[in-house]
Amino acid sequence: MRKIIDPAPEIWAELAKRPTKNLEDLEPGILETFKLVQEQGDNALLQLADKYDGVKLSSLVASTEEIAAAESGVSQELKEAILQAYSNIQLFHTQQAEPVKQVETMFGVTCWRKSVPIEKVGLYIPGGTAPLFSTLLMLGVPARIAGCQELVLCTPPSKDGNIHPAILYTASLLGVSRIIKAGGAQAIAAMAFGTESVPPVYKIFGPGNQYVTVAKQLVSKAGVAIDLPAGPSEVLVMADETANPAFVAADLLSQAEHGPDSQVVLLASSEAVLAQVEQELEAQLKVLPRKEFAAKALNNSLGIVLGGVEEMLRFSNLYAPEHLILSVSDFEQLLDGITNAGSVFLGHYSPESAGDYASGTNHTLPTNGYARAYSGVSLDSFVKKITFQYITREGLQNIGQTIETMAEAEGLEAHKNAVSIRLNELNRV
């Protein structure tokens, strides 16, 4: 972890920059994958599973027998954990539903907005170094609450051609039956353009590696919506003298273990706090199964000492972290000042892992500074907002002159005439 003591505000913007990769270099290869999938459909997915996943598949679609058998491959303890997380996530997201509210903007002019589910959505669930069945909950639960008619799940198979049983069990719990054994850019292409086994969808959700990230960006240019811009996972922890160094180190490592391109940032109130956390990082890192990933991520990470919590907050808002942890006293005093963050964890007993798995909030969040303008996935992500209006005869007479005047000022005579022709008829009655 790179240590920086009391940096001048003039260099904060430079410190807030993420480690960059030239992802544009990946585009030609991904476009070739797109072309292959568009031309050869299922056969392309089978070829690419052999090439990239090292598995020869007899079928791309997980069978009903495979899905049913998965339940026996999941321990009772894990099933109960998944069910508890499912319940919390469902409760939190159900409360996000907006009732239809009709507004009479003036007499005879009534407007309202209605949430309509996106009919066909694709869910991409990584299955490589970590089978993220938790992400399936985060995406599948709000999709079901929203009322999406068709859910297509793509996830890469293991070397034996199977999908991790926890992913299949969770899919079954959510009623997702169209499960495709495909990963990487080819899975994104299949959901965007369609194959014999994969129906095309209108919006694609889910995290992935750099190839998946670029593939999602490219299909969005082709007219298929995506959830949000996403990159490597990240966390920023604000810690003062009241923080427990072991807790802080554990939170930092929980993000670092995602992969070598993850970034973690510690804002400490003193050099003593930073030193204590560094000591804990070293001790905890030694026993992690994914310590190689975490160690590489720490090399890209920062430990910054700032003068106090107000300075920390200003830096955090500039950085706009995916996850923000306030491991400080009197965190309540800072809440109104938080303007840029994906998801916020308050106090010493709110680990970021809670949001990743089971507290109820969604863990699909904007990274790479996109929290300055984007929200995380929510129920709204799975619906379109359609506006309606109804204007009575009296309403048109009330608002008509306003419309005519504005249309004429813009030189749009046909717009004006669409009102005038109706008003002339009403005046003849």
Residue whose C-alpha is closest to residue 235's, from 126, 367, 374, 372? 367
Residue whose C-alpha is closest to residue 380's, from 394, 396, 364, 368? 364
Rounded CA-CA distance 8/6 in Å is 6
Is 124 labelled a binding residue? yes
Name the token pair of 47: 């070829």
Looking at this protein, which amino acid is placed at residue 103?
Answer: V
Is 233 labelled a binding residue? yes
Name the token pair of 74: 């999941």
Is 4 in a helix, a strand, or coil? strand
DSSP 293: H
Name the token pair of 152: 């297509």
CA angle, 45 then 26 then 53, to 5°? 35
Pairing state of beta strands 302-305 and 203-205? unpaired
Residue with the two structure tokens 């240590």: 3
The full DSSP string for 260-282 is TT-EEEEEESSHHHHHHHHHHHH
**Are 239 and 266 spatial neighbours (Cβ–Cβ below 8 Å)?**
yes
Query: 49-54 long-range CB contacts below 8 Å, 24 or more apart?
Result: 49/156, 49/157, 49/181, 49/182, 49/183, 52/183, 52/184, 52/186, 53/156, 53/157, 53/159, 53/183, 54/159
Is 209 labelled a binding residue? yes
Is 186 labelled a binding residue? yes
CB atoms within 10 A of CB 252: 31
Residue whose C-alpha is closest to residue 304's, from 4, 2, 1? 4
Is 374 in a helix, a strand, or coil? coil
Residue whose C-alpha is closest to residue 361's, from 91, 175, 101? 91
Q: Known catalytic residues?
A: 322-323
318 backbone dihedrals φ, ψ, rounded to 5°: -70, -40
Is 258 labelled a binding residue? yes
Is 378 labelled a binding residue? no
Task: Mark the binding-site residues for NAD(+), compressed into ranges.
Answer: 124, 186, 209
Task: Mark the binding-site residues for Zn(2+), compressed into ranges.
Answer: 255, 258, 356, 415
Task: Mark the binding-site residues, compressed into ranges.
Answer: 124, 186, 209, 233, 255, 258, 323, 356, 410, 415
